[in-house]
């Protein structure tokens, strides 16, 4: 019994030290194309609306860069990276929501590759894709993405805004 308990304790410590962190994340993807690429005439589609989705991320670096936090607005999630002589670890709370356009989703991307800018961008795109689905649109056309960065004391604020036209294709069915 002692051997099993000791093995379980060693296994739990070993899993905390590895870089294979599983962060709960929700992922949306959508293809973004220009109207020229679709080769459609005006009667083939209708533009439902132009929508905007925003995201704000706070980035905090402490302990001379050894601890880095990426915090979602309203504390919906937190990613905390800690660098020690044993390597880099990631702790998280909440669910990170990520959206991707035009096949830029990398299934093998590591949680350690998430930067504050990419999280702000991906969260804004995630929210845009939710609007595409709410409107019953077939896609987002010609998205425009803008990220602004500002410093507030030790905090760095990343604000990303995504604007796109929502398009519904006209079909005979």
What does the pLDDT look like over 30-89, one tens digit per residue? 666 666 777 778 788 888 999 999 999 999 998 887 899 999 999 999 999 998 888 888
Residue 161 and residue 124 in contact, taking contact as beta carbons nearer than 8 Å: yes
The predicted pLDDT at position 2 comes to 34
β-sheet bridge partners, residue 148: 159
Percentage of residues of the chain with pLDDT beyond 90: 45
C-alpha distances out from residue 107 to 74, 98, 100, 137, Å: 27, 12, 11, 25
- pTM of the shown model: 0.77
Write down all domains in the chain, each with its CATH number in brackets: 23-169 (3.30.110.70)
SS3 27: strand
Q: Which is nearest to 27 in space by CA: 122, 113, 117, 114?
A: 122
- Give the C-alpha separation, 104 to 21, whole Å: 22
Strand 155-169 to 45-62 pairing? antiparallel
What does the pLDDT look like over 28-40, one tens digit per residue? 666 666 667 777 7
- Give the C-alpha separation, 112 to 130, whole Å: 26
Per the model's pLDDT, the better-predicted residue between 12 and 136 turns out to be 136
CA angle in degrees (0–180, nearest 5) for 45-50-52? 140
Residue 134 and residue 48 in contact, taking contact as beta carbons nearer than 8 Å: no
């Amino acid at each position: 019994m002692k051997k099993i308990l000791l093995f379980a304790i060693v296994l739990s410590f070993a899993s905390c030290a590895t870089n294979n962190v599983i962060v709960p994340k929700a992922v949306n993807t959508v293809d973004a194309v220009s109207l020229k690429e679709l080769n459609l005439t005006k009667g083939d589609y209708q533009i439902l609306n132009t929508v905007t989705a925003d995201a704000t991320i706070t980035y905090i670096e402490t302990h001379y860069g050894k601890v880095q936090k990426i915090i979602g607005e309203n504390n919906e999630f937190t990613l905390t990276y800690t660098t020690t002589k044993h390597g880099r670890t990631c702790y998280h709370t909440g669910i990170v929501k990520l959206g991707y356009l035009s096949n830029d989703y990398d299934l093998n991307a590591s949680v350690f590759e998430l930067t504050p800018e990419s999280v702000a961008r991906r969260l804004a795109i995630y929210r845009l894709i939710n609007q595409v689905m709410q409107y019953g649109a077939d896609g987002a056309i010609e998205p425009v993405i803008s990220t602004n960065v500002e410093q507030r004391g030790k905090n760095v604020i990343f604000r990303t805004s995504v604007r796109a036209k929502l398009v519904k294709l006209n079909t005979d069915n």
